[in-house]
Structure 1
């Protein structure tokens, strides 16, 4: 009996030792090195097994998957006491520090400004979807060297380096379109013809200077309180000829025609042949003489007659109306 007990005890010890040597498979794992080691996949390995290199790690920000077949092959090749059931898998991921296109663009813009490019410019990378990935805990500061700006072509080039100081981990050339921007008031909605533009209808936006002509509205005060003639597109530069003063004299309306000369004021009744807003020039027919002349809209159903040189229809005259002699004054209203 004593001999049998000794045999059973020895067998138990052997089984226990065998169970202790069986490896366990890890779950999904992150690695922060350039290589994957056996110890990244399995626990309870024998001496020196954990440091065995089994493959190249994925690039920062990427991952690879080991399925059951590959895991069985790795275990067998390296003497690991493990056998799959056919369903296991391990995903090995490599964390990263991401440098986005927006960060690159901001750094490029600063580098151009430091190199003497004009202020207020907007830089658009040729490859705006770029994402650069560095190993976790890396210095992701961005620098640019060999920066060149071609104002005539609106182009810029430069070499990105990461980190900004020291030995570069990443060096890559970039090109970009460069536009000098101007801030303009624009409509934030479609305003119907004749509808008065309110302050809440106006926002400011940046547009390339190359899209600006001399007839574009540059001040909000030149929009607020006016109306659009034929409708203007939202968030687009507004031309000066697209807006006008609100119509206060409609076509066909009876109006008071007034002419002032010194201390004398003469008025007659007229009929508007065209519509107009305050300070615009319209055509008005004297209902008594049936003569049609130009007059400046002064207010609702009120126009001022100008006895001297007349401005084009629909435009405000330059300067003040000149006083005229009595004979000229009467002639203008007759």
Structure 2
């Protein structure tokens, strides 16, 4: 038996309603995105404390978020709530889990009542970043001192940076200026670092140890090795930051009259290793050697075995027996030997004064240097 065909329009409407019903059933009523940690807002932990509740209907989301779970932990304690345990709690409260979707963390750390949530710890500042930040601040302070005091002064600045300031300098990479300090501008000083793109009210405090650097002697022209330094050959200038270490001169009088021990280029900071006293005794020369003892001075001639400057020890060779001994240079082609005075022994009864003087083995006219 054949049935009459139905109205095609009615069939289409039924199919559309069925498709809509199927689609509605596939979409979850709400989504619960679990947080990694939470701070309850009251004595009872709510679903909205442990998860972000999202739903198409705002009132339904609010109703679900207000679902009570359990009492908040006491202050100083915490509770770990796993996703499976949360689902069991919601099922016990009549919430159909099949209608909702869970996402986010696999567990939630619930902090005790009144305990602040722990913020993420900032990353530590590496040695290179800290060094770069320190240089930036020190340069800004030196520039500030040159403006406030004198551009001709040389300054040594050592700052004490906190990790927070170093981290901010590394993150923003901004140019900065410094302000503050007080006369006499040395010792421990308090400054403020101002970011150029920030208001002056956001200046950050920084402590620094400041010292004035004395001027140093530099070569005004190239000085050849062995050349005697004159006043026109040198000048006083302020030291450059990071200059080479070594014992430097801070007065022209200290170097005038000395001799260059090696060639010194123009602009070089003079150090003790670059100069020496002038050579006044040269190797192979005949020099006068004097000896003093008990107010008596004896002079003889010897040959120098090496070059020596004023005040230095030089090895000399006796012309009589070619024996060598040391003498201290006291002038051009002159040296001295300080002999110890000999003490005479008391004369015993029956002995002559000649025996007390050495039995004539060393006559009164014979001297040993």
Alignment TM-score, normalising by the size of structure 2: 0.40
Q: Which has the larger Rg? A: 2
The structure carrying a bigger helix percent of its residues is 2
